Structure 1
Amino acid sequence: MTPAVVLMEKHGIAFGVHEYDRGDELRDFGREAAEALGLAFDQVFKTLLVDTEGGDAPRDPVVVVVPVSCMVSMKLVATAVGAKRASMCDPDAAERITGYVVGGISPLGQRKQLITVLDESVELFDTIYVSGGRRGLDISLSPTDLAGLLDAVVAPITA
């Protein structure tokens, strides 16, 4: 299994594993997962890496978890972590940093635990879905468990 699954098992977190057949095209992985699993776009979350600068910003990229139905607001991410600016991390750098491939980046089990910001909409659900660490694999879990395991900040970060 993936490092994300191993981490969940190690901490005794209740979760589900959901595999699905994904298409050959590289497209919006989060929406593809929601469609394949028959879930609402608001309940499936994508994991992004964001570079920040200025202010009290961390030196490492920030992990951002937002619904696949929404766009991340760089201004709100910067505010959530005390930075002046935020921008998307280069995809190749995101893969090196996390140990996962784009389209399969999980907020869990990354090479190094980074500051993580969850969009406040996670609080609307008892269960959310995030990447399980590879394309075609999602994990369902409680947003409270996800936030606790990652010591995540919950903030409004979508436009």
Structure 2
Amino acid sequence: MEQKREINKKLSWVFTVISIGELAGALAVVAYGLLKGHMTGTTCNVIMGAALVLYWLLEDIAEPFAVHRFDGITQAQKEAYVKYILLDLVGFAGIACFLFGVGGSSSGSNSGILGAVVYVVVMKPKRQNQQIFYGHIDPEAESGEDDNGAEETSVEEQEQATLPEQDEEDTSDVK
């Protein structure tokens, strides 16, 4: 069992290295093409978009299946996985919009900023679902209120618990 875990850990790192390598390779090709004047903005956008899709496929689809991450997981973890990969895809679409917007089209700045905002907005729920899928967070704990909401409720309950006592004391002084 320990040997299988070590193999899966190494395989996971292989997927990570390949994914980052292909992104770096695509970026290098685009940079070289732009510096030499052999590529247009559209070609660069297509290459980077394809690289992002390939990265998503390798990291979010192929890697979990290759290292058997679905063995023995709960239904909540499966649901978190689906949310995680969809939010990651939306985030990568935001990155792509940002990169396409930086390319210099007339409406590029607005779509670029919008893409960056989309990416930032989906990061927190994506990470939460990713942590649930990997088993680092209990899904039942995530379905309740966050820590700040729980603290506010407990403070309110404490205030309500002390108010009637104060009222009784105040009325007893009047009598």
Q: Which has the higher contact order (CA 8 A, sep 6+)?
A: 1
Larger helix share, 1 or 2 = 2
The alignment's TM-score, normalised by the length of structure 1, stands at 0.25
The alignment's TM-score, normalised by the length of structure 2, stands at 0.23
Larger strand share, 1 or 2 = 1
